[in-house]
Every structure is written in C-alpha cells, then in structure tokens.
Amino acid sequence: MDTNQLEQNFDAKLARNESIEPKDWMPDNYRKHLIRQISQHAHSEIVGMLPEGNWITRAPSLRRKMVLLAKVQDEGGHGLYLYSAAETLNISREELIDQLLTGKAKYSSIFNYPSLTWADIGAIGWLVDGAAIMNQVMLQRTSYGPYARAMVRICKEESFHQRQGYEIMTVLAKGTAEQKAMAQDALNRWWWPSLMMFGPPDEKSPNTANAIKWKIKRETNDELRQKFVNQTFPQADIIGLKLPDPDLKWNESKGGFDFGTPNWEEFYNIIAGNGPCNKARISARTKAHNEGAWVREAANAYAEKKKAVLA
Amino acid sequence: MAQDNQGMLWEVFIQTKPGQPHRHCGSVHGHDRELALQNARDVYTRRNEGTNLWVVPSNLIVASSPEDIGPFFEPANDKVYRHPTFYTIPEGITHM
Ligand SMILES: [Fe+2]
Ligand SMILES: [Fe+2]
C-alpha cells in the first residue's frame, strides 16, 4: 500500500470513530503529537506528586495523612499508565525520563507553584484535580487506543482526589475565621493557575487544530475552561468561598459565566522555566532518579544472575 | 543519556471476577516474572480490580497485522450458516 492509501485508511478510521492501535499505520506527525502530549501528561502526574508530597508529613490528622498518601500514590500510578501508553509509540522509558530531566519535555505549569499551607492541599485536590478530570473525561474518547484506555482507568481513580480536596476546603471554610481565611487565600492563589491548565486560548494554541482534526482532543481549551468555571462557581458558593475574579458574572444568553482573562504572560514565563518552583521540581526528580539507580542496577544484576543459573 | 535498563516489558491481564476472562489492561516493566507480577499488582490493582493477574512478556505475543484485517478474517465472512439465524424453523417453536 502506498502512503496515500494508508493515509486515506487512517482518515477513514478516524471518521468512523474507530481507535488507532499501536500497530496501525499512522502519520508521523500524529505519532509525534501523541508522544509529546502523552509524555507531558505522564510527567505532570509524576511532578504533580511533589507539591502534595510536601504536606504528607504535616497532614493534620491520621485520616488526612492516609488519604493524601493514597492520592499521591495514585498519581504515581497514573504516571506509569501513561508512560506505558507512550511507550507503545516506540519511545523508551529511558528517553522519556531523560526528556523530563533535561527540560526537553514539559509538564503542566501549575506544578511550579509552591504549596504554602494545608489549605493548598484542599485547593489542589478540588481545583487542580478538578481541571485535570475535565480534560481527562474528554480524553477517554481520544483516538489513540492505549491513551483512551489509560484515561478510563485514571478517571475512575480521580473522583476521590477531587472530593478529598473539596472536603478539606469545606471543613476549613466552616472553621474559625483564620481557617476560613486560609481556605480563601489558597483559592485565590490556585484559581488562575487552574484556569491556565486548559492551555492557551484557542486562537493562540498551536496544537489545537491538529488535535481536533485527529480526534485526539474532542473539545478545545476554551470550551473546557468555560465548563470548568460553570461547574466550580456553585461549589465555591455553597461553602462560602469566593472565586477571585471581579469580572465573573452569569451570562444568561450563553447559559454560562463570563470571566476574566488569566495572566498569560505569567503562564508563558513559567513554561519558559521561570516559575517559583521549576528548578526545585526538576532537581527533586533528578535526585530521586539518581538515588534510585542502585535499585535498577541491583535488579539488573539479579536478572543476569538468574539467567546464568537457568542457562 | 544514562543507560539504565528498566527491565523487560510485560503485558498485564486482569481477571476481574472468578470465571471471567482475563482482559488486557496495560503493561509494566519488570526484571523477572516475580517482579513483573508485583509491579503489575501495585500499578493496576490498587482497588481490588482483580482476582487473578497474568503478566506475559510483550515480545512473546504474536499478533495479526492490522493491514491484513480484510484477507485474514475474510474466510469467516461467507459462512453465514455458522449463525443460528441462517436456519428456518417452523413458527411456534421455542427454546431453540
Ligand atoms: Fe492523576
Ligand atoms: Fe489526581
């Protein structure tokens, strides 16, 4: 079959909403786009463990500590599902990790903000996981089979993540004046970065057109962002917190909220490596990777020895 | 780039309930079968998703190729008599 025909088959498959599987022919750019997106997603899960990991030892009760540990462990698992999905596109785990540690691959810019107080753990679960879920629910129908299947598993696990965060916020918001102020402060700091998680506005997003054409994404950045604002407003309202946006108001004609513009300059600046925690995050990952080297070496030596015994 | 072998690649299959077929759910790295099985348990069954796990070295799986989908499965196409609807039976017959 010539390339033209293969390409036609590929397009026809997408048109029929059939998933593309690892051994199917696919255009080079589709493969590249997926490797970039899936690995970026995997790295975000792994780096995302750091701001929350920061609070595991200081969780205010044993219950909260158990929950946070389980949540952070899930995120590690999500990273592994996604690395496996990326590997089906012919890139090795070593290469993927190397790209993260050398800064060649990106991860979600939100994890470059510090988690300053216990309320941040509430805000992260509620807003950051909430925004991630919105994106991931859509990705359950993404055109690449292994990615879609990983998303189905991830979405099942995510629902407790958002609830545990919202529960923390609820308790703080109902607590003393200081506790409520702490919750509001965390919301103020995490709100705009959460909106940025959906990516730049559609007209400035270089990858959106292809992602939609290839059915990798089914909704655009702006559509998802709008949904997120609509969904989050009543959640804040019910627990007596205020979204920190003076332009936020209900727009009857579109059946949704109008809202202000995130500070995109800040967003691009963080992506360029200049966020408050970029350096700390990558050095923590590099340290973990290097300090784990002996485990991989020992496992290798063990596998070699076993092979020798069997031979 | 550091050469650190992550171990072989294994495909993971979970049986969700006794009596059900094992279903593919993803893959893991592992240096030998025990480690692969433990890694699969930690990665894929943190919520009692299964009653049984298989791990199979990825390179031992033999798969049909997607390009041959037509000719490969074609022989089944013209054998409609393999389906019960092919047969005419008198009206009023039940349990058949
Ligand atoms: Fe996650
Ligand atoms: Fe999560």
Question: How do the domains of chain B map onto residue ranges?
Answer: 8-82
Which of B8, B23, B27 to mutate to probe the A interface, most A CBs <10 Å? Answer: B27
Cα–Cα distance measured from residue B43 to residue B59, given in angstroms and rounded to the nearest whole number: 20
Q: Is B9 on the interface with A (CB under 8 A)?
A: yes
Question: Which residues on A lie below 8 Å from B65 (Cβ)?
Answer: 23
Beta-sheet strands, E only, within chain A? 249-251, 256-258
* pLDDT number for residue B70: 82
B85 vs chain A: nearest CA distance in angstroms? 27
Which tokens sit at A79?
A: 């990273």
Would you call A90 an interface residue with chain B, using a CB distance cutoff of 8 Å?
no
Cross-chain residue pair A77–B35, CB shorter than 8 Å: no
How distant is the alpha carbon of residue A48 from its chain centre? 8
Angstrom distances, CA of residue B27 to CA of A166, A211, A275, A298: 33, 25, 34, 22
| DSSP string computed for A108-177 | -GGGGS---SHHHHHHIIIIIHHHHHHHHHHHTT-SBHHHHHHHHHHHHHHHHHHHHHHHHHHHHHTS-H
Ligand nearest to the CA of A128: 2
The verdict on a CB contact (< 8 Å) between A94 and B31 is: no
Q: How far from A196 is each of A8, A132, A218, A262, CA to CA, in Å? A: 36, 11, 18, 7
Give the Cα-Cα-Cα angle B3, B43, A285 (nearest 5 degrees): 45
CB under 8 A, 24+ apart: contacts of B14-20: B14/B44, B14/B45, B14/B49, B14/B50, B14/B52, B14/B53, B15/B50, B15/B51, B15/B52, B15/B53, B15/B54, B16/B49, B16/B50, B16/B51, B17/B51, B18/B51, B18/B52
Q: B89 φ, ψ to 5°?
A: -130, 155
Q: What's the one-letter identity of residue A294?
A: W
- Whether residues A153 and B26 touch (CB distance < 8 A) is answered with yes
Q: What stretch of H or E contains B29?
A: strand B23-30
Residue closest to A278 by CA, chosen among A116, A103, A112:
A112
Q: Which of A281, A295, A286 is nearest to A49 (CA)?
A: A281
* Residues with pLDDT less than 70, chain A: 310-311
Asked whether A267 and A196 are in contact (CB, 8 A), the reply is: yes
Cβ contacts of A93 on chain B, cutoff 8 Å: 6, 29
**Whole-number Å distance between alpha carbons of B43 and B28:** 8
Residue-level pLDDT at B1 = 46
Residues lower than pLDDT 50 in chain B: 1-2
Contact residues on chain B for A300, CB-CB shorter than 8 A: 5, 7, 31
Average pLDDT across chain A, whole number: 95
What is the largest distance, in Å, between two alpha-carbon atoms of chain A?
Answer: 74
Q: Alpha carbon of A239 to those of A34, A229, A231, A246, B30: distances in Å?
A: 39, 16, 14, 19, 46
ipTM value for the complex: 0.80
Chain A residue with minimal CA distance to B25?
A149
Q: The domain B8-82 belongs to what CATH superfamily?
A: Phenylacetic acid degradation B (3.10.20.520)
Threshold 0.80, pTM exceeds: yes
Which residues in A lie closer than 8 A to residue B32 (C-beta atoms)? 302-303, 306
Q: How many other CB atoms are found less than 10 A from the CB of residue A237?
A: 11
How many other CB atoms sit within 10 Å of the CB of residue A230? 15
